[in-house]
Amino acid sequence: MKFAIFGNTFQAKKSKHAENLFRILQSHNAELCICREFYHFLASDLHFQMPPAELIDDGDFEADMVISIGGDGTFLKAASRVGSKNIPILGINTGRLGFLADVSPEEMEETFQEIYNNHYKVESRSVLQLQCDDKQLMKDPYALNEIAILKRDSSSMISIHTAINDAPLTTYQADGLVISTPTGSTAYSLSVGGPVIVPHSKTIAITPVAPHSLNVRPIVICDDWKITLNVESRSHNFLVAIDGRSESCCECTQLNISKADYSIQVVKRFNHIFFDALRNKLMWGADIR
């Protein structure tokens, strides 16, 4: 098998797990291609003995499987590089929570044995697409987790005029609005009061950030519907964050958000159950009395 490897270049102490990863893959005679930035970080900064590998720039690569070693942020970056290639992504968690990257370093040996025995599952996760006339935003308009509209340059809230399939929904007076996939429902959306959504539910959640009205609540819609946003701000600009990649945008820009025409394939172990992750990682339903 050929693996493309992307990793976290910010936490040196956690990168030691990459050495064990390379050892395991070499024991299976795997073919490797490694993100150039990650390769140089390991070789130059940490002085690792690197295995023979092809170096990856941008999205120009082919592989049987992608490996993300880091946290969920690293996984999102890897997903951005994979795009519509339909290559399944395995997340090895050296970060904190690890919802997308959920294989622990201690499980690597067993996990790759299962992969080589074809004993794993692949889950298809929907992706959001932004369309607008802002060239900077359109360089990478896809989000596996969420697209967030946020206030910028002012402590005053913004007004977000929202329509669904061209029919008016409401105007959110808030610090922002989070448009989330089911995958992203346990990320930023959850932290601002959004619902937990099962990954395969074919929905989109719309959750306001610090709304000015008590009667504004999150809403869940079908993922084949189009969302149109027009923003008013006292500073005449606002922030658009696409899976954490943020750009300033002027208030004259109309934003159209819909489901992308491709999905991201996520590798899971056969014993993975979503509800177990909720209980174990988020303490969902735990009674601490």
Amino acid residing at 87: I
Q: What is the pLDDT of residue 69?
A: 94
What pLDDT was estimated at residue 139? 93
> 15 pLDDT band (50/70/90 cuts)?
confident
117: confidence class by pLDDT, cuts 50, 70, 90: very high
Query: What residue ranges in 117-165 does DSSP mark as E strands?
Result: 120-131, 142-143, 146-151, 158-164
Please tell me what DSSP assigns to residue 126: E
Could you say which of 58, 72, 102, 133 is catalytic?
72
pLDDT at 92: 95
Kind of pairing between the strands at 245-250 and 237-242? antiparallel
For the question of residue 223 being annotated catalytic, the response is: no
Alpha-carbon torsion angle 29, 33, 34, 36, nearest 10: 140
Instruction: Provide the whole-model pTM.
Output: 0.92
Residue 194 has pLDDT above 80, yes or no: yes
What's residue 157's pLDDT? 95
Cα end-to-end distance, the chain, whole Å: 49
Side-chain-side CA neighbours of residue 204 (13 Å): 25
Say what percent of the chain tops pLDDT 70.
99
What is the per-residue pLDDT for 59? 80
Answer yes or no: is pLDDT of 276 > 90: no
d(CA 95, CA 116): 25
CB atoms within 10 A of CB 99: 23
- What is the DSSP secondary structure assignment for residue 235, as one 8-state letter? T
pLDDT above 90: percentage of residues in the chain: 78
Instruction: Identify the structural domains of the chain with CATH numbers, from first to last.
Output: 2-118 (3.40.50.10330), 128-260 (2.60.200.30)
Which residues does 182 contact at the CB level (< 8 Å), separation at least 6? 125, 126, 197, 198, 199, 200, 201, 202, 203, 205
Query: What pLDDT shows up at residue 284?
Result: 83
Beta bridge partners of 164: 167, 227
Cβ contacts of 17-23, under 8 Å, gap ≥ 24: 17/69, 17/92, 17/94, 17/105, 17/108, 18/42, 18/48, 18/69, 19/48, 20/105, 20/108, 21/67, 21/69, 21/92, 21/108, 22/50, 22/51
- Phi then psi for 286, rounded to 5 degrees? -70, 135
